[in-house]
Structure 1
Amino acid sequence: MKKYNLIVATIISALALSACSYGEGEYGVFLSYDGDLEDLSDYKTVVIDAQYFDKEDIEDFKEQGHEVYSYINVGSIESFRDYYDEYEDLTLDVYEHWEEEKWVDVSSGRWQEFILDILAPDLLDKGIDGFFVDNCDVYYQYPEKEIFEGLTVIMKGLIATGAEVVVNGGDAFVTAYTDEGGDADDIITGINQESVLTSIDWDEEAFHEAAADDEEYFKDYIETYADEGIDIYLLEYTDDPLLSMKIRRYCKAHGFKYYISDSLELDL
C-alpha cells in the first residue's frame, strides 16, 4: 500500500508540474502587498493597490517589461482609507465578512466625481496600465435603477481614460448592462472572476472545490464574454494540487490568465 501511494503521489506531482508550465508567472494579484515591486518580478502582469506605491517605483518596474494594474474600489469604502471620513455619509451597510468595509451609494454625484476626477487620475498619474475595479457587486446587493445608472457612469468614465478596465466580479451588473442592449466593451476591457472552480467557506475559513452549479454558471458567464473579445482572468483560492491542476488545464484550454492563491489576504 505504501508503494502504491508513493506511485500515485509521484504521478500527481508530475501532472501538476506539467500543468504549471502554462500561464505561470503571467498574472498575479497582490492587493495586500506594499513591499518592493522587485519581489514580484516573476509575474508579467501584477495587480497591486497603487495608492501605496510611488510613481517612480511603478515606472521602474514597468521599464523591466511588466504591466501594472491598480485596485480601485468603486462600490464600497474601507475605513482605513484616508478619504473614508469625507464619504462615510454615503455608506449603505456593512460588507459581510469584511467588517472594516461598507457598501457605498454609487448613485451619488459626489462619489462619482471622487472616483473619476480625483482617485482614478491620481492612480493614472503613477503610470499604471489599467484599473482592477472592485465591488460593482453593489448592484447585486442593491439592484436598483439608480445604482445601475451610477455604476454605468463610473465604468464608462474609467473606460474613457483609455486605460484597461478589468472588473473584479460584478457579473450581475455586467449582465444587466448587456441585457439592456449595451456592449460589454462600453464598460470593461476584462473580467477577473474569483472562485470559478473553487469556493470559500467563510465559517471554517477553508477553501473547497466549487459547487457544480456555481462552476457551470461562472464558466458560462466568462466564456460568453470571452467570445465577445473581453479578456478573462481567474482568481482562485486553494492549496489543493489536484484542484490547482484542474484550474490550469481549464485556463489553458480557453486561453485565460489566472492566479491561484492560498490566502484571502492576497499578499506575496
Structure 2
Amino acid sequence: MVVDAYLNIGSLENSQPYYKRYEDVLLDRYDGWPDEHWADVTKEKWQRLVVQDRARVYKERGFESLFIDNADVYCRYHMSEVYQSLKSMLASLKRQGFKLIVNGGDVFVSETLKDGSAKKLYDGVNQEDVFTTYDFNKKKYGRQTKKNTDYYERYLKQAKKAGLDVYIVEYRAGRELSKKIDAYCERHGYKWYNADGIKLN
C-alpha cells in the first residue's frame, strides 16, 4: 500500500513549527482558513523549503508519494512567474523520485495540459467538490451546481486522457449521490473518497 505525505506547495499554516521563519514570504490570508496564508512561490527561500527541507524529511521517513496541495496559488496570483515556479518545484520533486498527486489547482493543471508538460511534472490529480460542496460562510455541506460539476467532469476527462491518475474527494455525499458517484468513477476509471468533514479528520 502506498501512503501519500501531504506537501503544501502554495500556502503555510501558522501551526507549522517553521512558520515564523517564513513570514516574510507570505501573502494574503487564505479565504476560509483564517490560520493560513498564501506563499510567494517565486521566492527562492520558499522553493528551498519545499524541494529541499520538506522533501528531505519525507525521504528520510520513507515516503514515496506526495499529495501536493495549493497549486491554486496560481489561480490567486495568475502570473507567469508563479506558473514557472510551480513547474520548477514539481520537476525537482519528480527528479527526486516522488510520485506526485496534485490536489485541486485546476487552473494550473489545465495550463500544463495545454503546454504538454503535465505528465512530466506529476502523476495524477485529485479534485474536491465535483458533486458536493461546502459553504465556508454558512458552514454547511451541500450539492455542487450543475455548471461546476460539468466543468470538473470535462477537466478530469482531459487529465485522464493525458495519462494522469484521477481521484475525487467529496464531502458527506448521501446514499443516492454516492451510488451515482460510484457508477461515474467506475465508468471513467477514477477513484473517489467520501469524507465525513471538510478537515478530513
Same fold (TM over 0.5): yes
**1:231 and 2:171 matched:** no
Identity of aligned pairs, percent?
A: 34
Aligned structure 1 segments of 4 or more residues deviating by more than 2 angstroms: none
Describe the superposition over 1:219-244 as per-residue Cα deviations: whole angstroms up to 9, x where unpaired.
11111111121000001112421112
Alpha-carbon deviation of 1:129? 2.3
Question: Distance between the aligned counterparts of 2:113 and 2:168, measured in 1?
Answer: 21
**1:169 and 2:112 matched:** no
Question: Distance between the aligned counterparts of 2:122 and 2:153, measured in 1?
Answer: 18
- Specify the alignment match of 2:26 in structure 1: 91
Equivalent residue of 2:177, what SS?
A: helix
Describe the superposition over 1:77-135 as per-residue Cα deviations: whole angstroms up to 9, x where unpaired.
00000111011110011000000000000000111111111101211221112000000
Q: Is the 8 A contact 1:198 1:207 kept in 2?
A: yes
Select 1:250's aligned residue among 170, 184, 190: 184
Alpha-carbon deviation of 1:158? 1.4
Select 1:209's aligned residue among 132, 143, 146: 143
- Specify the alignment match of 1:73 in structure 2: 8
Number of corresponding residues: 201
Q: Is the 8 A contact 1:209 1:243 kept in 2?
A: no
> 5+ residue gaps in structure 2?
none
Larger radius of gyration: 1
CA RMSD for the aligned pairs? 1.1
Question: Distance between the aligned counterparts of 2:68 and 2:59, measured in 1?
Answer: 14
- Specify the alignment match of 2:39 in structure 1: 104
Cα pair distance change 1:198/1:239, threshold 3 Å: closer
Letter in 1 for 2:101: V
Describe the superposition over 1:189-244 as per-residue Cα deviations: whole angstroms up to 9, x where unpaired.
00011011111122222221211110011111111111121000001112421112
Structure with higher RCO (Cα < 8 A, 6+ apart): 1
Describe the superposition over 1:32-57 as per-residue Cα deviations: whole angstroms up to 9, x where unpaired.
xxxxxxxxxxxxxxxxxxxxxxxxxx
Instruction: Tell me the TM-score normalised to structure 1 length.
Output: 0.73
**1:122 and 2:57 matched:** yes
Instruction: Tell me the TM-score normalised to structure 2 length.
Output: 0.96
Letter in 1 for 2:72: D
